[in-house]
Amino acid sequence: MGMPLIDHHCHGVTTGELDREAFELLATESDWPAPAGTSVFDSPFGITVRAECAPLLDLSRHASAPDYLARRAELGAQEVTSRLLKHTGISTYLVETGYRADEILGPDQLAAAAGARSEAVVRLESVGEQVAATGVTAGLYGDEVAAEVTRQLETAVGAKSIAAYRVGLDLDPARPTHVEVARAASEWLRPQARRLDHPVLIRHLLWTAIDAGKPIQLHTGHGDSDAVLHRSNPSLLTGFLQATRETGVPILLLHCYPYLREAGCLAQIYPHVYVDNGLGVNYTGPGATAVIRESMEMTPFSKLLFSSDAFGLPELYACGALLWRRGTAAVLNEWVAADAISSSDALRYAELIAHGNAERVYGL
């Protein structure tokens, strides 16, 4: 399992030095500190950082939180980032650029730090917000957004939507009309547009991306406190998947935790649907193999992709890649040992999930 990985969905690494509070906030989906007397270092991801990243910083496995943070500060963020990223074996990073972009390394900087290649993924909701910030009128909003999405996608490999966060995946799957978009834009732009959470405009973004024809990543499942878990169940997208099937545009269901099985069912049925098991793998630490196992339960082997969903901490890249390699190998080796699959097929599927499927879907 030493093959190169394509991390088909991730964010940049934070640029600054991190104190304990800042580190802990980046090591969880929570937006608030752990309650008094407790620590994120005492969580499945926390113990994985202390077990797996500590040795890469010259500490012994299972270092304590204070020792880990002290050594991290001593080495400095740049050296830590470089060591951890180079250890991942990730050859290509597909970096979503639309979230807190000022705090993190962009795709080029990340590639330089990792000695790897990178490509950009456009966050659709950010494009809507960027266009709104130009002072566009409601009547022109729809066309301007479509033009800007198309323009940004020219140099990007795909689009990403956080519809799950903004309106829930139980959205109306229909393409909105021009009149509906103009009316919705007039509601949202007045008096001042901020966070794009208008259901019609979210749908407009999705269909604009469908028209642009590049792969679309959709957040599903567990995320931060801005999302409601059961409204992020990928099965809620069924209507949208039915409506877009004939377009052939690949839809990549991100994360999916704890709905890996639901996602696998969708990937079996809909030819344009793909499944990713990132995020859940990191946050379950030693339990990640069970998550990976579920993602391999029904999903066709040509439909599963690796990602880290890392944001901010290089530890999320390092642990995400390591846990994925270990878990995927564990499942496939078990199947080989039971003679349920040949070694050559197992290797072939590992290569597909590690990078082959991403190469095919994104045309890398």
Sites for its own copies among residues 17-56 (CB under 8 A): 28-35, 37-40, 42-44, 47-48, 51
Q: Which stretch binds its own copies (CB under 8 A): 14-22, 75-83, 206-214, 286-294?
A: 286-294
State how far the Cα of 155 lies from the Cα of 146, in Å rounded to an integer.
15
- Amino acid letter at 213? G
Q: Closer to its own copies by CB, 103 or 351: give it.
A: 351
Report the sign of the C-alpha dihedral through residues 52, 58, 62, 68, in that order: negative
Residue linked to tokens 């069924």 = 238
| Ramachandran angles phi, psi of 98, nearest 5° | -95, 5
Site for its own copies in 316-345 (CB under 8 A): 334-335, 338-342, 345
Q: Which stretch binds its own copies (CB under 8 A): 5-13, 70-78, 144-152, 237-245?
A: 237-245
Instruction: State in angstroms the smallest separation of the CB of 193 from its own copies.
Output: 24
- Which residues are CB-neighbours of 115 under 8 A, at least 6 positions away? 85, 86
- Which residues are CB-neighbours of 179 under 8 A, at least 6 positions away? none
**Position 301 contacts its own copies (CB under 8 A):** yes
Instruction: State in angstroms the smallest separation of the CB of 258 from its own copies.
Output: 4
Site string for its own copies, 101-140 (x = CB under 8 A): ----------------------------------------
Q: Could you give the angle at the alpha carbon of 325 between the alpha carbons of 324 and 329, nearest 5°?
A: 110
Q: Which stretch binds its own copies (CB under 8 A): 5-13, 94-102, 171-179, 265-273?
A: 265-273
Alpha-carbon distances of 279 from 30, 55, 244, 263, rounded to whole Å: 13, 23, 26, 15
**Position 220 contacts its own copies (CB under 8 A):** no
Q: Which stretch binds its own copies (CB under 8 A): 104-112, 126-134, 225-233, 308-316?
A: 225-233
| 161 exposure class (CB count in 10 Å sphere: 0-12, 13-18, 19+) | buried
Instruction: State in angstroms the smallest separation of the CB of 260 from its own copies.
Output: 9
Instruction: State in angstroms the smallest separation of the CB of 54 from its own copies.
Output: 11
Q: Closer to its own copies by CB, 52 or 144: give it.
A: 52
